[in-house]
């Protein structure tokens, strides 16, 4: 498989950009982020499914929270299909005003509406022989849903204002972050279109449900942004990686990528420590410490565990009170001088955001 190979063969910390010519080649492309990283069982199952369905012409519906990689997977399916040398045309149905979306999808003839001074082909026509990716299809109006259903059923349509029927051979991949069965229940999405799309569903798991991928993704993004920015960030301390693994990542892989990019650009060398992290991750630190502390069979160093715990609670209080030490001391039921002493001892610093 073209861009899934990396994820199956590379271990974390191996230098993807030195050793993998494919990723290097992609860096020269307009979109360098095409490799899909995922070692968790859940992502390996997605890759297996992609491999199986790529070559068929069946309609695919990709679902998942924002930032889980729906766009990447759609592209991977096309690139691994026998349509790969034909166009991959993507359209975000949620980002285009309804009155323009119809003409974007189906094209229009000259004079079809005010401003239509020339006729224009739509995305379905441009995708002929290849794949059309209908992103955020859950945001499409019911009127357009009927028209899209007709193309899916019959493979033909008319341009806006046109009388001629146009036939196309297009593989359809759709994606949405919405819960489509729920949208159908609420009358916002047509049931017939739902079942027409729901031939092969691919559900992408949220990052917090496949935490074992986080170190691999982190390592991949560090190497990618080092390479792009000519930086030499070594990586993250063990403590930081723990925080990264336990943080809930509401923005999923996109959020993780953005955090790593920011750290590579701003810090640029050495190892990242807890103080370098953005506020929201540092705030998750206390949660992580209290949740994950356990005495394993190998034992635990009580002194350092207690020190870490103290540090976490101080940091949380400081974040909560916007670093007003009087207030933070009150939250911790300490006097101010004791808190200042502890801040110094633990070398806690405010993150400059
Ligand atoms: N498994 C992955 N491996 C590497 N990068 C990934 C992965 N998943 C997502 N990304 C990165 O996260 C970014 C967001 O992915 P993508 O745009 O495909 O998500 P999405 O599910 O389509 O999100 P949205 O619903 O917001 O459109 C991508 O640009 C890519 O850099
Ligand atoms: Mg997307």
- Domains of the chain by range and CATH? 41-204 (3.40.50.300), 297-353 (1.10.10.60)
Residue nearest to atom 27 of ligand 1 (CA): 66
Ligand 1 center–CA 337 separation, angstroms:
47
- pLDDT for the residue 296: 66
DSSP-assigned beta bridge partners for residue 166: 157
Q: For residue 135, which atom of ligand 1 is closest to its CA?
A: 27
From the alpha carbon of 256, which atom of ligand 1 is closest? Answer: 12
pLDDT computed for residue 286 by the predictor: 57
pLDDT in tens, 88-139: 999 999 999 888 999 999 999 998 888 889 999 999 999 999 999 999 999 9
Give the pLDDT confidence score for residue 85 in this predicted structure: 95
Of 69, 205, 220, 261, the residue with max ligand 1 atoms within 8 A of its CB, to mutate for a pocket test, comes to: 69
Positions of E strands within 155-261? 156-158, 165-167, 171-176, 200-203, 232-236
Q: Is the CB of 69 under 6 A from ligand 1?
A: yes
Beta strands 131-135 and 88-92 are parallel
pLDDT tens digit string along 145-173? 999 999 999 999 999 998 899 999 999 99
Residue-averaged pLDDT of the chain: 84
Q: 210: Cβ below 6 Å to ligand 1?
A: no
For residues 38-49, give the mean pLDDT. 88
Please tell me the least confidently modeled range out of 22-36, 275-289, 331-345.
Answer: 22-36
Closest ligand 1 atom to the C-alpha of 68?
21
User: Residue 72: CB within 6 Å of ligand 1?
Assistant: yes
Ligand 1 pocket residue status of 205, Cβ below 6 Å: no
pTM to 2 decimal places = 0.76
Tell me the ligand closest to 64's alpha carbon: 1
Residue 279's pLDDT is: 85
> What confidence tier does 18 reach under pLDDT thresholds 50, 70, 90?
very low
Q: Nearest bound ligand to CA 72?
A: 1
| Separation between Cα atoms, residue 97 and residue 95, nearest integer Å | 7
Answer yes or no: are the C-beta atoms of 27 and 225 closer than 8 Å: no
Q: Is 294 exposed, middle or buried (0-12, 13-18, 19+ CB in 10 A)?
A: exposed
Side-chain-facing half-sphere of 172: CA atoms under 13 Å:
25
Ligand 1 atom showing the smallest separation from residue 92 Cα:
27
pLDDT, tens digit (0-9, with 9 covering 90-100), for 185-212:
999 999 999 999 999 999 999 999 998 8
CA distances from 61 to 14, 125, 196, 198, 262 (A): 33, 21, 10, 6, 33
State the pLDDT at residue 15. Answer: 44
Least confident of 37-41, 70-74, 174-178: 37-41
Best probe residue, ligand 1, of 12, 40, 67, 77 (max atoms within 8 Å of C-beta): 67
Atom of ligand 1 nearest to the CA of 69: 18
Distance 253 CA to ligand 1 centre (A): 6
Does the structure show a pLDDT above 70 at 141?
yes
The per-residue pLDDT for range 224-240, each reduced to its tens digit, is 899 899 999 998 888 89
């Amino acid at each position: 498989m073209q861009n899934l190979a990396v994820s199956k063969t590379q271990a974390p910390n191996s230098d993807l950009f030195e050793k993998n010519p494919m990723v290097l080649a992609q860096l020269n492309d307009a979109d360098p982020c095409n490799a899909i990283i995922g070692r968790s069982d859940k992502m390996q199952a997605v890759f297996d499914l992609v491999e199986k369905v790529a070559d068929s012409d069946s309609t695919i519906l990709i679902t998942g929270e924002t930032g889980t990689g729906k766009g990447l997977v759609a592209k991977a399916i096309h690139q691994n299909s026998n349509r790969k040398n034909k166009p991959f045309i993507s359209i975000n149905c949620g980002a285009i005003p309804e009155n323009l979306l119809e003409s974007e999808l189906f094209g229009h003839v000259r004079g079809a509406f005010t401003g239509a001074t020339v006729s224009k082909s739509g995305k379905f026509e441009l995708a002929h022989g290849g794949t059309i990716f209908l992103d955020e299809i859950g945001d499409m109006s019911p009127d357009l849903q009927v028209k899209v259903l007709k193309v899916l059923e019959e493979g033909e349509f008319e341009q806006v204002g046109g009388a001629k029927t146009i036939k196309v051979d297009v593989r359809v991949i759709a994606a949405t972050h919405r819960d489509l069965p729920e949208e159908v229940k609420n009358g916002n999405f047509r049931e017939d279109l739902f079942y027409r799309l729901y031939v092969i569903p691919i559900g992408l798991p949220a990052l917090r449900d496949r935490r074992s991928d986080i170190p691999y993704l982190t390592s991949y993004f560090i190497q990618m942004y080092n390479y792009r920015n000519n930086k030499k960030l070594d990586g993250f301390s063990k403590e930081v990686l723990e925080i990264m693994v336990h943080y809930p990542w509401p923005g999923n892989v996109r959020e993780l990528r953005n955090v790593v990019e920011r750290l590579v650009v701003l810090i640029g060398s050495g190892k990242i420590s807890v103080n370098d992290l953005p506020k929201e991750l540092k705030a998750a630190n206390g949660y992580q410490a209290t949740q994950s502390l356990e005495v394993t069979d190998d034992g635990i160093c009580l002194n350092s565990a207690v020190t870490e715990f103290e540090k976490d609670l101080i940091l949380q209080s400081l974040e909560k009170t916007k670093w007003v030490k009087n207030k933070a001391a009150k939250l911790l039921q300490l006097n101010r001088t004791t808190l200042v002493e502890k801040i110094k001892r633990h070398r806690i610093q405010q993150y400059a955001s």
